[in-house]
Structure 1
Amino acid sequence: MADPFEVRMRFSAQLQHLNASVVSLQKAASYALKYKDMDEDLHSCILEQLERTNMNTRANIMFFIEHFMEMAWKENHTNYIDMLQRDIIRVVDAVAPDNESGAANVKVVRLVLQNLQVKRFLDAHVVTDIEEVLKERETSAHDAGLSSPVVDDHDLGEMPPSQAIPHPGRPTAPRLDKRQVEQRIEEDRERHKRLRESIWHVPDRQTEIDRLWEETSDLGDDDHLMGREEFLAREQAIAQQCPHYTPRTLDGLYGREGREANGRGDN
């Protein structure tokens, strides 16, 4: 049996070194599912790292949570999902706290919550209530010094954190250094690329085939007529370009109707 303290330390280290790549997210999620008998302890690791790490890591952990919940559902280990639902407010407060650094993570939280709702890991009324809180915390990307996650690349990092404008009554947060700003920009770009790729992703090939079948109209006489006309037009075009080409007929392709359409009939 694995040592609980070692498992906890290894999982915490993986969370601290998360990045925007899918491989990084899958590795940490697989590790947590491997030791699912310690699920309560590993879930507490997620909460602790959210409250201890910098803004970039908090954003990465938020995206990890979405990926992790999907893998846990496929593995039929719903304890992790139940614990997320129980502590979702604490998660949101950690990722997007009510200060300048948290403001740049508001869009991250909003995007992940919407995805969790679509995947039915969170109830719609819970997401709606959290959205009302996020509206109060949201400021522009210029105020926060960073933008994330769905914005144009030319907007990223347009204003350095040192020029962020403080808000009266809003708690201040430690400024991010230049390296962290550049890291966030690169990770946001990686996530943007995956979002664009996901537009063309078909999760279930058979489902897509069934959808196309339902949306396609039944084959009728007009379709046969159009097919014959296109066939004859193609043969004529090829014959005009190549004097040695012998145009094919519709014999064997459309039966008697095809031969009649080709001007031959049954002789």
Structure 2
Amino acid sequence: MDEMDPFEARLLFGNMLDNLTGAQPTIERVSGFALRHTAMADDLLECIGDKLDKLQVPPRLNLLLVIDAILISSNRANAQTWANLLKKNIVSTVTVVIPETPGGDSNVPQVRKVVSGWKRKSVFDKSIMERLDKLLEKRGGGDSGGGGGSANESGMKHQEILKRIEEDRERHKRHKEDVWIRPPDELPENELEMYWDTASDFNDADWQEIVVENEEYQQERQLAEMARRSV
């Protein structure tokens, strides 16, 4: 199949972003298109940046999930090309997704998981990961469910809240599965040795994992309460 020209690629990609939701199939469809047209990554990144500027805060998370799907793709050559381009602006991109607003607060728990995955897979170098960690540390354990505000304050209506809860649950499930995925040809003793070598005393990283899990639990409770009040 002939490679489409940049104008056509931007047009199609922009239309896909207009119809993007937090559902995994739509995220995979958009990220798959981006990976197939990595030669035009600069143009497609501009589309993502333009869309980020126009969206309300809560659905900005969906664009970050597209970026995440690209970066952790099994097509490592194309994923690395995107990582090299994204490293210049990834901190500012994450900042836009989690502004200090009720809507931004609701995005924080999922963003923590995305960043944790990048760290685990060494997507970006140490200096970038340290900047992302500091950005998220500023948000602390905080209120992840919209600051107790109304659905209007968070930019999410009743049906959107219910949909977000379901999408977050699905992402949580996939996140847990991804953590435990091992290479299919790996010997059992190698897996055991890896866990033995990486096991450590209870430390700050363990506390952070507890914080993330607690934030997700609190987010579900508060989003459910917001949905109930908006009926």
- Assess same fold via TM > 0.5: yes
Show structure 2 runs of 5+ residues with no match. 195-231
Q: 5 Å matches for 1:250-265?
A: none
Q: 5 Å matches for 1:161-172?
A: 161-162=151-152
Letter in 2 for 1:129: R
Specify which structure has the higher proportion of helix.
2
Alignment-derived partner of residue 177 in structure 1? 157
Q: CA deviation at 1:82?
A: 0.9
Q: CA deviation at 1:134?
A: 2.7
Q: 5 Å matches for 1:103-182?
A: 103-137=105-139, 139-145=142-148, 160-162=150-152, 175-182=155-162
- Pick the structure with greater CA Rg: 1
Q: 5 Å matches for 1:212-251?
A: none
1:66-111 Cα distance to aligned partner (Å, 9 max, x none) = 2101227524463311111111122112211232211211222222
Alignment-derived partner of residue 45 in structure 2? 43
- State the number of aligned residues: 191
CA distance in structure 1 between the aligned counterparts of 2:98 and 2:15, rounded to whole angstroms: 22
Q: CA deviation at 1:140?
A: 0.5
Q: CA deviation at 1:213?
A: 8.4
**TM-score normalised according to structure 2 size:** 0.70
SS of the residue 1:78 aligns to: helix
- Bigger mean CA deviation after superposition, 68-77 or 174-183: 68-77
2:212 pairs with 1:209 = no
**TM-score normalised according to structure 1 size:** 0.61
Percent identity, please. Answer: 26
CA distance in structure 2 between the aligned counterparts of 1:16 and 1:208, rounded to whole angstroms: 45
1:183-202 Cα distance to aligned partner (Å, 9 max, x none) = 21121111122234335533
Change (3 A) 1:67 1:77: closer
Letter in 2 for 1:161: A
CA distance in structure 1 between the aligned counterparts of 2:133 and 2:122, rounded to whole angstroms: 17
1:196-235 Cα distance to aligned partner (Å, 9 max, x none) = 4335533x122243526879xxxxxxxxxxxxxxxxxxxx
Q: CA deviation at 1:11?
A: 1.1
Show structure 1 runs of 5+ residues with no match. 146-158, 165-173, 216-267
2:67 pairs with 1:65 = yes
